[in-house]
Structure 1
Amino acid sequence: MNDTIRSGGLEGKIITIECLSYDATNDWKIDTEVSLSSLSNKNVFIVRVFYEMGLPSNEEIGIVDFAPQLISRGTFFKRPKYETFDKVIERAFGWLSENPDINFRNAQSIDIKMKSLSQHKTHLMAFTEHGDYIRIFRVTYTKPVEAAQGAIGRTVLSSPIYLSTKIFLPYKKSDTISDIKQRLSDWVNQYLAQNYEHFTGQRWPRVLSAETVEVFAKDFRDDNVVELEKAALDDTFLANRFGSKNAYMFFSLRIFYQTFDRTKCPKSSDNSIDTIDNNNDHN
């Protein structure tokens, strides 16, 4: 893709970049135009670029992965223990704040098939379903190509990105995506109103991207969402995602937003989940 960009083959401004898996046939062929899943056990990752048509792009694409660190190794009778997902996100946010010369395009949580209980390769582009997975955090970005930098003389650094995140979960089995989306919208408006005095001029917090997250849980009752919250925030090692361990799979929404002051940026561990206490009308 970057070779195409350097040769002027991408005519337009890149808006966002996403990585997603597609169902493959028995001989590992995929059709990216298909909208209906065939529920194949063979999957191939693709990189999809959304862009606004215009002048040829002068920015190349970059991808950086943040995987959970292994805390204790697993055995035949014991699952391995990895750091929680909110810690993985915090490391990614630290990297972004230290690299202000890039343009953030997207962030995703992606399940990667493991080769063994302690080994994984995030760059592999194909896998078969079933087995153990690890949830990584992938950041996609763009940066000026070398030719463009040379023409300018030097790269002008932008303001550091101080990123935070919040995930919005279903509170009842009957909750719809529209219900979750409404809570997301209400929270954004409330956050802006409560922090109005901290932002002046153009330095307002911005929602940079959002993703739909699959959350696997063993149990979920309308009177107890602790299991779902734990699965959303903590679980990075997923054993047999669709097997007997997990009886439910839910969709949730996660947003990533930017602030311009590190002291005003909530830690992901403090402000990463939309809790019932703040949404009593949805209980």
Structure 2
Amino acid sequence: MSKSPVTPQYVDVHMPPPSYEEVMGHQALSSVKADVPREELPPLAYIDIMPRCLHPGNMRKKVPPEYDRFSTLMGAANYWLRANLSYGVWKCETVERKVENNGEIIMDKMICHESTYGFNVLIRGLRLWLYVKDPSTPPQQLGLLNKVPETTQVNLTAGQVYHPFTGFVIGHPLFLQMYGYSMTTYQGFRETLHSLNEDLKKQPLQGSILNVESATLKVSEGLEKAVIDSDNTVCHENGGKMKRYTQIIRVFYVIGEPANETIGMKEFIPSITKPPDIATHAQFQNFEEIMTKFNKWLPHQTGIKLVNIQLHEVRYTEKLGQLEILSDLTDDFDDGMSDRSFLQTLRVFYVTAPSTAPPQQISFITSRLFLPVRTGERSFESMSQTMFRIEAWLRVTGIPAYKVETVKFLYREPLKLGVDATRTYYTAFKGVGKYYVTAVRVYFLNPYQEPHPCYLPPAFPWDPSMKPSSTCTIQ
């Protein structure tokens, strides 16, 4: 079932604007300061609206804290927009931050550790990418519609047992004959998107779509009953327990007259460059080759408006030299005892509408990834410092941003940059804690030339090859 749209909250024009802490709880600003004139908004700027902690829980005893609901964040965003009439939002994005063991949330931190056997707590917030608007026009107000996949029952025949990683595997027919076997799972992503469009035909959104994203939620742990709560902002994981995840579709829209839009999605999957065999794993195309696929598809599309370009991770499995890419899967299990392989795909969301004015025809899109500068072992510069570099790059090149997304990569210690940003596949090994590095990817409608480093802020990344040996002694 889809949730009801989130309508504006806290909209009493006679009330003075609240403080940021009163409305937004934890929050971090990129370049939007109270004393900065609207004309000086950086070429790329955002504000994070994070949930307030309602109850601290007890991290040592593995009792998770409680936080505001996501609908509260949407209300806070609308309140902020009413109090800051010079700004509008051109993209909403769900972002995650880790809650440290002491309960602290470091908003500027660009590397996150997820323990395999420890207790992890993550919270989800709302990132608003901003533009300057005419302050004399009415404030922009945002709505949200969540679509969760419908459940479906899988009845297995004799000789089949459901395996959460590879689908169906051979089971013991006597067991099935005696007891039978069935399982509740979820509809695929494409079927869920089709169902969402059917919902929108019956009950159109009261406004126009700003962007669409797919978000992954944990729905159960251990033997808990699976519950999809799309309005929840906190996720906790106990190490060693089986976990179950699903995907939901989030539709952010600007409240107004119904535009009667239909949502479409095209997914670009890296092709296999080296098939798997018994001795070696599969290899795939890199990110630039996915962008080439995207740009071959794009010029042939008419009457569509792109609303989001999203790098999305999907599971893939290798079994006896056979490879299966589970790009449509919305029901994913992690037993904590198996290696898990992931492939980065590019999901392009777009809308069509019965409008007399066709949207802008786009024939080519480029992108630039901005990684935080590495400062040491498992250490990177802050988000604020990275945004300062992005803003400087955009000013020097003079090229406007078309789309933007916050992405994360698996940290790899031996690499100079700490990540392999061109590689589209990796394996999360069992029994090993993982570190993830946050980065920002910006998309453009024009090609660009990389400016000379002398025009940009200096960067002196730490080089792991220069790390002193433990056997060396300094006299």
TM-score scaled by length of structure 1: 0.78
Q: What residue is the counterpart of 2:445 in the other structure?
A: 258
Match of 1:32 among 207, 211, 230: 230
| Number of residue pairs matched by the alignment | 247
Q: What residue is the counterpart of 2:349 in the other structure?
A: 140
Q: Distance in 1 between matches of 2:421 and 2:390?
A: 16
Give the deviation of 1:282 after TM superposition. Answer: 2.6
Give the deviation of 1:48 after TM superposition. Answer: 0.3
Q: Distance in 2 between matches of 1:163 and 1:256?
A: 7
Runs of 4+ displaced beyond 3 Å: 155-158, 241-244, 274-280
Distance 1:61 1:241, change over 3 A: farther
Cα contact 2:273–2:283 (8 A) shared by 1: yes
Q: Distance in 2 between matches of 1:119 and 1:131?
A: 13
Residue pairs, 1:5-20, within 5 angstroms:
5-20=200-215
Q: What residue is the counterpart of 1:213 in the other structure?
A: 407
Cα contact 1:106–1:208 (8 A) shared by 2: no
Cα contact 2:392–2:457 (8 A) shared by 1: no
Aligned sequence identity (%): 18
SS of the residue aligned with 1:101?
coil
Q: Distance in 2 between matches of 1:15 and 1:157?
A: 14
Match of 2:383 among 163, 166, 177: 177
Aligned residue type for 1:136: T
Distance 1:57 1:23, change over 3 A: same
Distance 1:279 1:216, change over 3 A: farther
TM-score scaled by length of structure 2: 0.48
Structure 1, gaps ≥5 residues long:
193-204, 260-264
Give the deviation of 1:124 after TM superposition. Answer: 1.4
Q: Does 2:325 match 1:123?
A: no
Aligned residue type for 1:249: Y
SS of the residue aligned with 1:30?
coil
Q: Distance in 1 between matches of 2:403 and 2:284?
A: 26
Aligned residue type for 2:237: L
> Which whole-Å deviations, capped at 9, do the CAs of 1:249-279 have from their partners, x for residues lacking one?
21111111223xxxxx24xxx86xx997875
Distance 1:250 1:157, change over 3 A: closer
Give the deviation of 1:164 after TM superposition. Answer: 0.9
Aligned residue type for 2:348: V
Which has the larger displacement, 61-70 or 116-125? 116-125
Aligned residue type for 1:248: Y
Distance 1:247 1:4, change over 3 A: closer
Give the deviation of 1:218 after TM superposition. Answer: 2.4
Q: Distance in 2 between matches of 1:240 and 1:60?
A: 36
Structure with greater proportional helix content: 1
Q: What residue is the counterpart of 2:162 in the other structure?
A: none
Q: Distance in 1 between matches of 2:424 and 2:400?
A: 27
Give the deviation of 1:156 after TM superposition. Answer: 3.7
Q: Distance in 2 between matches of 1:188 and 1:242?
A: 41
Match of 2:270 among 56, 68, 89: 68
Q: Does 2:281 match 1:281?
A: no
Give the deviation of 1:247 after TM superposition. Answer: 5.3
Cα contact 1:61–1:142 (8 A) shared by 2: yes
Match of 2:425 among 218, 232, 237: 237
SS of the residue aligned with 2:235?
coil
Higher relative contact order (CA 8 A, sep 6+): 1
Q: Does 2:366 match 1:164?
A: yes
Aligned residue type for 1:184: I
SS of the residue aligned with 1:232?
coil
Q: Distance in 1 between matches of 2:452 and 2:317?
A: 36
Q: Distance in 1 between matches of 2:454 and 2:280?
A: 35
> Which whole-Å deviations, capped at 9, do the CAs of 1:62-86 have from their partners, x for residues lacking one?
0110000011112343121111121
Which has the larger displacement, 134-143 or 168-177? 168-177
The Cα RMSD (Å) is 2.7
Distance 1:167 1:275, change over 3 A: farther
SS of the residue aligned with 2:401?
strand
